[in-house]
Amino acid sequence: MTNRKQILAAALDFDGISQQEIADMITIPADASKGDYCLPCFKLAKTLRKSPVQIAEEAAGRLTCLPPPFKKAEAVNGYLNFFVDTADCAKQVLTEIEKKGASYGDSDEGEGKTVCIDYSSINIAKPFHIGHLCTTVIGGALYRIYKKLGYTPVGINHLGDWGTQFGKLIVAFKKWSSEEALHEKGMTELTSIYVRFHTEAETDPTLEDQARAWFKKIEDGDEEALRLYNLFKEITLKEVEKTYKRLKIKFDSYNGEAFYNDKMQPVLDELKEKGLLKKDDGAEIVDLSDDGMPPCLLVKADGATLYATRDLAAAYYRKKTYDFYKSLYVVAYQQNLHFRQVFKVLEKLGKEWAKDCVHVAFGMVSMESGAMSTRKGKVIYLEDVLNKAVEKSYEIINEKSPQLENKEETAEMVGVGAVIFSVLYNNRIKDIVFSYDKVLNFDGETGPYVQYTNARCLSVLNKVGKCDAVPDFSAVDNAEGQAVIALLERFPSVLRESVEKYEPCCIGRFLVDLCKSYNRFYLVHRITGEAEQVKKARAMLTNAVHTVLEEGLRLMGIDAPKKM
């Protein structure tokens, strides 16, 4: 859709001021009675050497014939207000959405630009729990939105697949488990023996020594140690793939911590060459005191590397491999300092692309029952949360729509969608306490509410049937219709705002606003039983709402049931 600010800027002519400068000054008034668009003339006064009032009045006098869809310009106290021909606007917006369908809002602005998105990043041999929900669905939504805007996203699951916990697991496996038990019980067995290891280690500290010895064997390439390590990894990935499938999440890379083991030394060597790596009580650090941060620890006194070392190696690898335009890290806000340090070290190394690395921080999600700990066995599996949400959805659907076909399939869409929407509706930095009753409310600002409104649109369209009349767009040129049209027109800019702010909640909130607006229109204006031209225009509006709701839900990773 043509940018209306650019249309207005082209129609205006001010000496010494570019069209782009004018377009950037144009705003949308909070009070619709003062116009649909507004140019405050105060910033122009110094350049044009006239009062804002005179500038606005002279410009209004020149604009005797405005380009479509504008019908009037009005000067008021130094403001130049523009009014849109709402019927013509409705025609433009609804015709475009009808023509483009789900591709409405698509853009080529990201063509040739790659965006790396590091998200989910589960730990091997640890459960996929509710704490992984935010990073997984925020990263997945950003992936899909970037793709819609023409970028090439690269989804990276930076697996936590290295560390002494694997030595602990081997010790625990050999003492208390078997391969048969692992294949039969999967992650449940791995979690159980991991918890038991920490319980037993409280009274038998030699277990920790055995764990370190087994991890050293993994590092040294011992055949038995590597076989068990890979078995744990295989079981974990097989199990989490089921949950990823339900959340509509896919990755382009599963390169985790272990992948960067042989890629850290060149980074450390470069730090030494540039005089940035310093010794501190046997450890090796980069001093960041001048930047108001504690030192970035890269090598411990015993020679072990850390997360920061591997993240630096990963950043080098991703830039070399993908030549990214942006590299996003969708990781909880507790890691704010870690990423500030890593990005600052990259900057000190002279990597101009350090500015393109972004920590997309988010708050924590917890259940009403409280906090979790893998070591103590207090874990809430994400799969269990999804299953319970689906189960509760089925109960609600069975009560409200007992005759509905495919109730199980619909319950899956509604339950899983409700969980995803509960995260993506909130600003990502906000902590969330998860409540089944709240997220499954069909009348609140929830996923089920958006899905239900979409199903309502499809029901209306089914009743209207085929209608070949020429639409009378004055039938939607009323307060309720104009509000819906204005929101529909905003959808492409909402997508851009989502990636500019790295905030999928822009889409979630937009969808709820669109549902509320359409439902007001639906209650006030009949669609079926009207003259064919009226029915056609209102059906076009209904179809446009359905198209945008369904596409918005898809971008969030949520299915849209056809009936509810």
Quickly count: other Cβ atoms within 10 Å of residue 105's Cβ: 22
Sheet with 79-84, side-by-side order of all strands: 37-40, 79-84, 70-76
Spot the catalytic one: 46, 72, 100, 132: 132
Q: Where do the H-state alpha helices sit in 440-560? A: 447-464, 479-501, 505-524, 532-556
Spot the catalytic one: 5, 91, 126, 168: 126
* Nearest of 116, 124, 162, 141 to residue 362 by alpha carbon: 141
The CA distance from 239 to 377, in Å, is 18
Residue showing tokens 């509760």: 392
Peptide bond into 205 cis (omega under 30): no
Secondary structure (DSSP) of 343-363: HHHHHHTT-GGGGGEEEEEE-
Secondary structure percentages of the chain, helix, strand, coil, to 5: 60, 10, 30
Active-site residue flag, 126: yes
Quickly count: other Cβ atoms within 10 Å of residue 337's Cβ: 11
* Nearest of 360, 372, 299 to residue 326 by alpha carbon: 360
Token duo for residue 439: 């997220």
Active-site residue flag, 525: no
The CA distance from 473 to 76, in Å, is 30
The CA distance from 363 to 424, in Å, is 12
Quickly count: other Cβ atoms within 10 Å of residue 366's Cβ: 16
- Residue 172 makes CB contacts below 8 A (sequence gap 6+) with 193, 194, 196, 197
Token duo for residue 491: 């959808």
In 356-443, which ranges are E strands?
Answer: 357-362, 365-367, 432-434
Q: Where do the H-state alpha helices sit in 525-561? A: 532-556
Which secondary structure element, helix H or strand E, spans residue 153, and what is its range? strand 152-156
CA separation, residue 39 to residues 7, 28, 31, 501 (Å)? 13, 9, 14, 25
The CA distance from 269 to 533, in Å, is 74
Q: Can you say whether the dihedral through the CA atoms of 329, 334, 338, 343 is positive or negative?
A: positive
Spot the catalytic one: 5, 91, 129, 546: 129
* Nearest of 413, 354, 337, 428 to residue 119 by alpha carbon: 428
Q: Can you say whether the dihedral through the CA atoms of 68, 74, 75, 79 is positive or negative?
A: negative
The CA distance from 512 to 444, in Å, is 9
Contact 224, 181 (CB under 8 A): no
- Residue 265 φ/ψ, nearest 5 degrees: -60, -45
Active-site residue flag, 563: no
The CA distance from 1 to 486, in Å, is 13
Contact 282, 298 (CB under 8 A): no
Catalytic residues: 126, 129, 132
